[in-house]
Chains A and B, each alone.
Chain A
Amino acid sequence: MAIISERRSVASTPVAVGEPQDRCRFGPSFDRSRVECPAFQRGQFIAATSYGKPLGTHVACTHLMVGELGTNQFYPRCTLGDQHARMRWLANMGPGRIEVLKALNAEFERLYPDSLRQLIIAKAAVLAAPPDDRTARLTLATVVRDFVSQFTTFITTHADRIAEIGYAPIDLTARAAHVLAEWQHSARLDLPGVDEQSILRPAGADAATGDDVVATSGLMISRTSLPTTVTLVGSIDESNLEALSDALERATVSGDVVIVDLSAVTFCSVAGLRMLTATADAGKLTLHGMQPRLRRAMIAAGLSGTTPPSRRARETSDG
């Protein structure tokens, strides 16, 4: 369950006016950089030459595809769309279902580590072979059939969890078979992801039942009750601090101590940390799942531990 696509070199790219809105800013080398994108779904990226020689496996995002700008101009395209579309996808999925999806992806990768690679190699051999060579085509057909069979077994085994996140297992396998058959006969080496939005699409408006979800710029805030828990997915910065502050205000209005789950927070500004810790210090909420990177940020900003005395401490400034 991962997207694979032919490796295209993507040059260092200053942001220019008129660029596609669905350009992915976070990759394509996700194994070398941290990923702040809240919609990031880990998957494998198998690079291969057009002669079928594998160039290696990289960490990629299942939403990442090759986009075309024009003749021989390519860019990393997010199949979800622009930032707003990513947030809509997150809001529709809800944090619980995203966790299930991530776990399923990892499980499939663990069970069938080589199947995606074999697909790419077989397809590359077809593309490189002369048109009248039937051997390569037969091999590809076998590999595709095996893959569909593995995928169907996997989906059937995990039918309950897949149903839990709002997908019908039978639709899923049918769609995967259809997409792969199309790909098998196409001239493309890159394979559409079998769990991309077009296949594993959220099932309608009741997708996030029970969750009170706010998807603001770069941050999904969802609330569940008993006990009141606010789950944050994404990054906290100047663009959504006010929305977060409002949401926490609403959640704590009843006087209950609210649990704030920070385990899926990929970035938090110093102002965000200050707001969260100040509200926690006031006894209104408890912070769970704070990651080491956020703790390090608090130390650097002088927000944790004892603040040494200073003549130069100022209480307000523009610094």
Chain B
Amino acid sequence: MTEHAATGDFRHEALLYRGESDFVERVAPFILDGIATGEPTLVMVSSAKINALRERMGGLDGLVEYRDMQTVGANPARIIPAWDEFAVTKAQDGAVRLRGVGEPIWHGRLAGQMEECHWHESLINRAFADVKGFWLICPYDAAALDPSVVDEARTTHPVIIDGDRVVRTAQDVQDAFPVPTTPLAAQLAQPDRVVAEMSFAADTLMELRAIVAVEGARAGLSPERLEDLILAVSEIATNSVTHGGGRGVARVWLDGGDVVCEISDRGVITDPLVDRHRPGHDPSSARGLWTANQLCDLVQVRSSRERGSVVRLLVHAGHRTA
């Protein structure tokens, strides 16, 4: 571990490890240091790793909380709100220093989810830039992950810790990692075969839901997951109706065993953190993207002035090893 930065700025560091026992040996001291200094710590990794860590620490829990990243971060867009909730709650309790361990990237994730994880890691720099005293480490399994995935970590983390080497990729989070806009404006890969397509407006939202219901059932979604997808699609399409020029185009296709529904319209989204804001109590507060993120296994938002906005919603149809 590096020594505490004197300034107490937000620290976002990638930690490269090789295999589970190496993970435990490198991460446990970070948590134990936090316990020793009385810092609230949130650990979001797989449940298997949570068990291994707890065993290693032999009952020392201090102010440590654990959450299963494979649940919280199944859709990577849900992770920033989880850190945010932790940071705000602990700050309200009077904590001035916080620790976090978050591993959203693991071997076997879907390509789309991996893409969104990198985007998420880069958004973290912006989302928490002003949170003093928050020290977040992101473990990467260098033995299991593709080297290109590990290389991505170098572009999204100001500090890389690899064994005893500490590589500072940037002196200052803000300077070296300007607000990333490229992924927001990037284009998504096109599907091979679209099974249904329709243009919609306010008075045809029901038809759109009917198409999703029929195609989702055909693809084998469970009744509950089908409800989730239908609501998410309807909410995003409602955004098109109310904010995106009154209409939009929906396309449905299958990706492996997953059901994907894409909504596009002429609206332009400029805030890269648009879907990470927890809606406020105010009844007028917007909830479309937030709701979709809670319901879907993956939500991809892309927007540019030239092409308008695209929101892709994915729900797993079956259990897959991830």
Residue numbers of A with Cβ under 8 A of B are: 12-15, 25-27, 29, 32-37, 83, 217-218, 235, 237-239, 267, 269-271, 274, 278, 293, 296-297, 299-303, 307-319
Partner of B206, one of A12, A239, A296: A239
Smallest CB gap from B284: residue in A: A316
> Do A36 and B213 have beta carbons less than 8 Å apart?
yes
Smallest CB gap from A297: residue in B: B231
> Do B89 and A34 have beta carbons less than 8 Å apart?
no
Expressed in whole angstroms, the minimum distance between the Cβ of B67 and any Cβ of chain A is: 13
> Do A36 and B214 have beta carbons less than 8 Å apart?
no
Residue numbers of B with Cβ under 8 A of A are: 80-81, 84-85, 87-89, 92, 127, 194-198, 202-203, 205-207, 209-211, 213-218, 223-224, 226-228, 230-231, 234-235, 238-239, 241-243, 267, 269, 273-291, 294-295
A270 vs B228: C-alpha distance when bound (angstroms): 12
Smallest CB gap from B87: residue in A: A311
Tell me whether A239 and B202 are in contact in the complex, defined as CB-CB below 8 angstroms, given that A26-B214, A33-B217, A314-B280 are known contacts: yes
> Do A318 and B269 have beta carbons less than 8 Å apart?
yes
> Do B291 and A300 have beta carbons less than 8 Å apart?
yes
Number of A-B residue pairs, CB cutoff 8 Å, is 176
> Do A317 and B217 have beta carbons less than 8 Å apart?
no
- CB<8 Å pairs between A and B, sample of 30: A12-B196, A12-B218, A14-B194, A15-B197, A15-B198, A26-B213, A26-B214, A32-B217, A33-B213, A34-B213, A34-B217, A35-B213, A36-B210, A217-B206, A235-B206, A267-B206, A267-B209, A297-B291, A300-B294, A301-B290, A307-B278, A307-B281, A309-B89, A310-B84, A310-B278, A313-B280, A315-B281, A316-B282, A317-B274, A319-B288
Expressed in whole angstroms, the minimum distance between the Cβ of A219 and any Cβ of chain B is: 9
- Return chain B residues, CB-CB under 8 Å to A26: 210, 213-214
> Do B198 and A300 have beta carbons less than 8 Å apart?
no
Smallest CB gap from B289: residue in A: A319
> Do A237 and B228 have beta carbons less than 8 Å apart?
no
A244 vs B277: C-alpha distance when bound (angstroms): 29
- Return chain B residues, CB-CB under 8 Å to A274: 283, 287
Partner of B227, one of A235, A238, A293, A317: A293
- Return chain B residues, CB-CB under 8 Å to A278: 283
Partner of B279, one of A34, A218, A269, A302: A302
Expressed in whole angstroms, the minimum distance between the Cβ of A217 and any Cβ of chain B is: 6
- Return chain B residues, CB-CB under 8 Å to A309: 85, 88-89, 92
Smallest CB gap from B215: residue in A: A12
Expressed in whole angstroms, the minimum distance between the Cβ of A261 and any Cβ of chain B is: 20
- Return chain A residues, CB-CB under 8 Å to B218: 12, 29, 32-33
Partner of B290, one of A27, A83, A217, A302: A302
Tell me whether A311 and B269 are in contact in the complex, defined as CB-CB below 8 angstroms, given that A33-B213, A33-B217, A318-B243 are known contacts: no
> Do B280 and A301 have beta carbons less than 8 Å apart?
no
A27 vs B283: C-alpha distance when bound (angstroms): 36
Smallest CB gap from A14: residue in B: B197
> Do B291 and A312 have beta carbons less than 8 Å apart?
no
- Return chain B residues, CB-CB under 8 Å to A302: 278-279, 287, 290-291, 294
A297 vs B238: C-alpha distance when bound (angstroms): 15
